[in-house]
């Protein structure tokens, strides 16, 4: 893949690619550029579009030094991180943290470690230590990994489809009013009579 421009794409196809790189799903990018929702698969299978997508991905990977595999590996570290791996229980049942068990993957996934040491009063001062370990958002990492791997479309698609249905319903209602019909239409698009 070179960094030279791909085969000349028309403006609408270039817009689809631009919207896609802004974070829209393939279907949403296609619709925003003025194509029908059904044409998304065809557009993204076109050789000239594929070539331009690959070209831009290569440029992006070189600029950021990150690629899809790297991102998935980082998300995997977050998903698999378990601070409980650091926990050790002695023969009297007392828990303690064994920091030698801190793996590089777990270290990357930990967002905060808070250590609070306090002394309980009385004749024999007892030292109490609380350790709180917070990891990055596992559910968020799972969702991001699913999107990167193409296993899940983002919520934006549903929002766009809901908005389209509402607009179509509104236009249908306006048309009925103009035609002199005062029928009410429910949310399913059926006459209420």
C-alpha distances in angstroms, 117 versus 32, 93, 132, 153, 190? 56, 20, 12, 46, 66
CA distance 36 to 161: 12
Q: What angle do CA 46, 51, 52 make, to 5 degrees?
A: 100
**Domain layout of the chain by residue ranges:** 1-65, 78-140, 155-193
User: Roughly what angle, to the nearest 10 degrees, separates helices 11-21 and 47-64?
Assistant: 40
Q: Write out pLDDT tens, residues 165-192.
A: 777 777 777 777 777 765 555 555 555 5
pTM: 0.39
Q: Tens of pLDDT along 9-65?
A: 888 899 999 888 888 888 889 999 999 888 888 898 899 998 988 888 887 766 666
Cβ pair 35, 112 in contact under 8 A: no
- The third-level CATH classification (topology) of the domain covering 1-65 is Arc Repressor Mutant, subunit A (1.10.10)
Write out pLDDT tens, residues 115-162: 888 777 667 777 777 878 887 888 888 888 777 777 665 555 555 666
pLDDT tens per residue, range 95-118: 888 888 888 878 877 888 888 887
Residue 76 in this model has a pLDDT that exceeds 80:
yes
pLDDT in the model for residue 66 = 65
Q: At what angle do helices 68-80 and 138-148 cross, to 10 degrees?
A: 150
pLDDT value of residue 118 = 79
């Amino acid at each position: 893949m070179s960094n030279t421009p791909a085969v000349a794409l028309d403006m609408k196809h270039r817009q689809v690619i631009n919207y896609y790189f802004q974070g829209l799903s393939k279907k949403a990018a296609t619709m925003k550029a003025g194509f029908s929702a059904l044409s998304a698969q065809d557009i993204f299978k076109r050789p000239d579009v594929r070539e331009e997508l690959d070209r831009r991905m290569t440029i992006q990977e070189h600029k950021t030094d990150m690629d899809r595999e790297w991102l998935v590996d980082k998300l995997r570290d977050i998903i698999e991180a378990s601070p409980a791996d650091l926990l050790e229980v002695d023969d009297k049942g007392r828990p303690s943290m064994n920091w030698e068990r801190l793996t590089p993957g777990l270290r990357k996934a930990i967002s905060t470690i808070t250590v609070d040491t306090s002394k309980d009063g009385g004749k024999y001062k007892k030292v109490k230590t609380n350790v709180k370990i917070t990891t990055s958002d596992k559910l968020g990492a799972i969702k991001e990994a699913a999107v990167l791997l193409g296993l899940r479309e983002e919520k934006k698609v549903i929002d766009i489809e809901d908005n389209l249905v509402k607009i179509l319903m509104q236009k249908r209602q306006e048309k009925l009013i103009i035609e002199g019909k005062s029928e009410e239409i429910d949310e399913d698009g059926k006459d209420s009579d």
